[in-house]
Amino acid sequence: MSETKEVVRIARTDIDGTKPVAKAITSLQGVGETYGHAVSQVIDVDTETKIGDLSDEEIDKIEDTIRSPEEAGIPEWLRNRRKDREEGDDQHLIGSDLELKEEFDIRRLKEIDSYKGWRHEIGLPVRGQKTKSSFRSGSKIGVSRARLREEASEGGGDDEGEE
């Protein structure tokens, strides 16, 4: 075997070459652990082999498998875009393609004035989470003790002097 490559480039993304194959390809957006293991099994590479030790042909094979899972025989239930609204088929998107599709989905929800679109628009949780103590930011966050002490010292001194 040749020396381990420090960085491997797959799908316009730099991947750490010292990690095992299944773990390394999870650094691609849209590829999780289960999908990573499935890809490494399809191309007949041990999941513990470092991705930097693979040949260029094997790396190209990994990229082709990730991009077209239907040809590689990866089951539909592992894909991240099943029954797509436009095409109607099962797809697996990675990287910027996935980000763009999600952005278009959210924009469509906002345009049709759905409840989920409205929640996205005003920055609240979409999937039914409670909001009493979570999702608080900015001026919504509760009482600041330091500010209360400061106001008390300013207000308390003025009130005593006037009486």
pLDDT tens-digit profile, the chain (163 residues):
467 777 888 888 888 888 888 888 888 888 888 888 888 888 888 878 888 888 888 888 888 888 888 888 888 888 777 787 777 777 788 888 888 888 988 999 999 999 999 988 888 888 888 887 777 776 666 677 787 788 888 876 555 545 4
Q: Which pLDDT value is given to residue 156?
A: 62
Nearest residue to 45 via CA among 58, 56, 34: 58
- Per residue, the 3-state secondary structure of 23-62, as one string, reads HHHHHCCCCCHHHHHHHHHHCCCCCCCEHHHCCHHHHHHH
Using CA atoms in the order 55, 59, 61, 64, what is the torsion angle rounded to 10 degrees? -160
Nearest residue to 74 via CA among 62, 59, 57: 62
Neighbours of 111 (CB within 10 A): 9
Residues of 18-52 as b/e, b for ≥16 C-beta within 10 angstroms? ebbbbbbbbebebbeeebbbbbbebbebeeebbbb
Q: Which pLDDT value is given to residue 110?
A: 92
**In the chain, what is the greatest distance between 2 CA atoms, to the nearest angstrom?**
89
CATH fold of 7-78: Helicase, Ruva Protein; domain 3 (1.10.8)
Place of tokens 């999908």: 35
Stated length of the chain: 163
DSSP for 104-139 reads HHHHHHHHTT-HHHHHHHHT--SS----SSSS--GG
In CATH, 96-162 is 4.10.910: yes
Q: Give me the residue spans of the domains in the chain.
A: 7-78, 96-162
Q: Which pLDDT value is given to residue 163?
A: 46
